[in-house]
Structure formats: C-alpha cells, structure tokens
Amino acid sequence: MPPLTSIKTSGDDIEIVNQLLLPHVIEYVQIETVEEAHDAIKTMKIRGAPAIASLAALSLSSQLSRGLKASPPPDYLASTDALKEHVERILDYFFTARPTAVNLGAAIRRLRATLLKSLDANKSTRDICQNLINEGWKVSDEDVGRNKEMSRRGGEWLRQRVREDHAKVEVVNVLTVCNTGSLATSGYGTALGLITYLHESGKLGTAFFTQSAPYHQGSRLTAMELQELKIPSIMICDTMVGSLFQSHVIHGVVVGADRIARNGDTANKIGTYNAAVLAARHNIPFIVVAPTTTIDLDIPDGTHIPIEHRPAIEACLVRGAIYPIQSHEDAKHAVVMITPPGLEGVYNPSFDVTPAELITAIVTENGVAVKNPGMRGFDLSEIA
Ligand SMILES: CSC[C@H]1O[C@H](OP(=O)(O)O)[C@H](O)[C@@H]1O
C-alpha cells in the first residue's frame, strides 16, 4: 500500500485522512469550508507543521475557485474592498488555529502578500482570486520536492559525519521523535524523509522512534509509515531514550521542527528537548530537519516561541485523542480519575524548545548549517 497522504485533492474538492483514528481506521473526510479546515487543524484531525499550512492554503484556494464558478457570484466579488475584507478575515481566522508551528503563519503571510500585490496592480476581483488560488496550490505543491531535497542534504551530511566519527560504519542507526513523514507534510516528510533517503540509499541500519505521548504521533503514525515503507524500525516509550543510548549504538537523532528562532533554538514535539539533552550526554549528533518556512527570523531566540498547551483531557486518555468525555462510561478509557466534563491538575504542553547549543546541525532545502566553533547559536542566513 502506498504511503498515506495527509491531504487528497481533486479539482476544488479536498479530503484529509482523519489522523485521530489512525492506524486502526483509515477514514478520509471532506473539507468543504474554511471553518471545517480550521476545525481539522485545531482538533488535530490533521497535524504536522507543513501539512496544516498546506490545508489552510488549499482551503482558501478551493473556496475562491468555487466562488468564481458560482452563479450568482458571491458578494465578496462585488468590489476589491469586499474581496480584501473577505480574504483577510479568512487569513486572520486560520492564524488562530494552532500557535506554535510557524509554517501556517508563513503561508498566511505569503497569501496576504499575494493579495496586496494584486490589489496594488489594480487587478480585477476575478484576477485577484485567480492569483490567490494559484499561490495557495503552490504552497502545497512545493512541499514534496522541498522535502526530498532537504532529506538528501541531511542524509549525506549525517553519513559524512558518521564516517568521521566511526571509521568503519557502513549503515547508521537513528532515533526520531514524533511524526514527520507524509502524514505531517504534503509528502515524503522531513526528518522521516531523511530516514527514508538513508534507507533508499542502503545506508540505514535501524530507525528507532518514540511513541510521542500523549497524541502518540510515533506509535500511531510513524509506526504505520515506517511499516508501509518497509524500513527496519523499533519503537520505544518516551521514557526509554536514555536507556536506548546506554544500550545501543545510535549514530544520530533526527527530528522535525515547528518553529526555529533566529539563533537556532527549535520548538518541536514535547520530548524533543529530553532527547537532545541525552544525545549531548552521549555525544550523539542531534539534527533538526525542516523547510525554510519553519525558520522565524523575526524572533531572536526560543523564549519568544509560543508553546501550545492542549486540552488536559488529551493527556489522560489511553486511546488516541478522541473526546470529549461525556459519561463515566467514556471515562473508563482515561488513565486518571476523571470527573466529566472538566479536569484540573494536568500539564500538557504540546511542544518544547531545544536550545541551539544542544543542536549539532539544522537542515533545510537550502543546505546544512552547523555552529561556528565556540558559538552557542547558529547563523541561519545561508539556509533560511
Ligand atoms: C514535519 S514536522 C511536523 C512537526 O509537527 C508535529 O507536531 P504536531 O503533530 O502537534 O502537529 C511535530 O512537532 C513534528 O515535528
């Protein structure tokens, strides 16, 4: 079976696989409106920094494309002022879906720039819509090629680094956190793309991955993708990273990112910082793999990255993140005593920030950045 895709399109129709149900149920749901797209992002039916940016962009393109074919035409086509107000309201609305991943914000800024540029050029409302439709499609279409390029660059860098550190090693063992494959992007993936590249090159030993509780991106999504790709893999619980490093030869830790600050501090799935501290303790290279749209040059360091805190209940359920809990019967699936509908006393940040000093290399489609000797931070200007 080919790798699952996060988003499927046919003309103006958009479907996403409901990732809350994977791997037990593969169910594609129609995304008919921007409201449904926003809900899918916020409730994590779709997740992954690049994938949520693609869905937001495609959803706007789909709505505007349908509007151009509608009869009578929608009110927002009556004037450029009406169209500007309509599009900017949608872009502002998408911005509220999830705060940490900057790719969504980058896509929104890109579409807003397309709108303003078209307005400045005195384009007709129909031409402005067509420009936005085209740009929205490009946001999604660019992702796969970009992922393959960064995966190749990162894979070759890691192979060279391993040759330097371990003279006779032919294949490398890596650990990854969360899910960064086709389900988190428009295809191929970022950190999981690098792992796929190594496997396709015959240079991968074993890919270890963490369960990534509480949403379980690892045990539910990465496990599924690695099995579909026939990549040798071993799952570990989040608490086992230190034991793994003590008992196995791991040549690199390879993770994705949701936002990278100007100095290289990186926000990624909760548990990434733990793995970085342990990798430093064991002298294991720690590599971040992400598209340039993940780099936020507007913030100097990781203290400025907003960290999303998810609903407490999501950290309390044995099964995926399906809720709300509406009865005591439902509550039997919870790992703690729940008094529906609410819950106090749970700390559930969805991301953490790994300081640049713990990161060995940052890989984008433009290249690989390493820190200058003696520097705690990165100069990302060459790869941003
Ligand atoms: C391609 S990187 C995706 C990035 O997004 C994930 O977070 P979430 O599943 O909550 O959207 C995780 O941080 C991954 O590294």
Q: What are the tens digits of pLDDT across the range 44-77?
A: 999 999 999 999 999 999 999 999 999 999 999 9
Which pair of tokens denotes residue 346?
A: 């749970």
Structure confidence at residue 323 as a pLDDT band (50, 70, 90)? low
Pocket test for ligand 1, best of 16, 178, 212, 362 (most atoms within 8 A of CB): 178
Structure confidence at residue 322 as a pLDDT band (50, 70, 90)? very low
Structure confidence at residue 168 as a pLDDT band (50, 70, 90)? confident
Q: Residue with the nearest Cα to atom 13 of ligand 1?
A: 269
Mean pLDDT computed over 354-360? 98
Fold of 153-370: Rossmann fold (3.40.50)
CATH hierarchy code of domain 7-143? 1.20.120.420
Q: Report the separation in Å between the CA atom of 159 and the middle of ligand 1, taken as the mean of its atom positions.
A: 25
Q: What's the pTM? A: 0.94
Which pair of tokens denotes residue 219?
A: 């045990």
- Cα 99 to Cα 102: distance, rounded to the nearest angstrom: 8
Mean pLDDT computed over 289-293? 97
Mean pLDDT computed over 29-36? 98
Specify the pLDDT at position 311. Answer: 87
Percent of the chain with pLDDT over 90: 86
Look at residue 326 and tell me whether its pLDDT is greater than 80: no
- Residue 240 burial class via C-beta count within 10 angstroms: exposed 0-12, middle 13-18, buried 19 and up: middle
Look at residue 328 and tell me whether its pLDDT is greater than 90: no
CB 165 within 8 Å of CB 249: no
Q: Residue with the nearest Cα to atom 1 of ligand 1?
A: 180
Specify the pLDDT at position 313. Answer: 82
Q: What pairs with residue 362 in β-bridges?
A: 288, 369
Q: Is position 298 annotated as part of the catalytic site? A: no
Give tens-digit pLDDT for 251-290.
999 999 999 999 999 999 999 999 999 999 999 999 999 9
Weakest mean pLDDT among 15-24, 208-217, 265-274, 314-323: 314-323
- Cα 175 to Cα 324: distance, rounded to the nearest angstrom: 33
Q: Report the separation in Å between the CA atom of 174 and the middle of ligand 1, taken as the mean of its atom positions.
A: 18
Q: Report the separation in Å between the CA atom of 49 and the middle of ligand 1, taken as the mean of its atom positions.
A: 5
Look at residue 382 and tell me whether its pLDDT is greater than 80: yes
Q: Residue with the nearest Cα to atom 12 of ligand 1?
A: 269
- Stronger pLDDT, 373 or 137, i.e. the higher one: 137
Relative to the CA of 179, which ligand 1 atom is closest?
Answer: 14
Domain definitions of the chain by residue range = 7-143, 153-370
Give tens-digit pLDDT for 80-133.
999 999 999 999 999 999 999 999 999 999 999 999 999 999 999 999 999 999
217 lines ligand 1 (CB under 6 A): yes
50 lines ligand 1 (CB under 6 A): yes
Enter the ipTM: 0.97
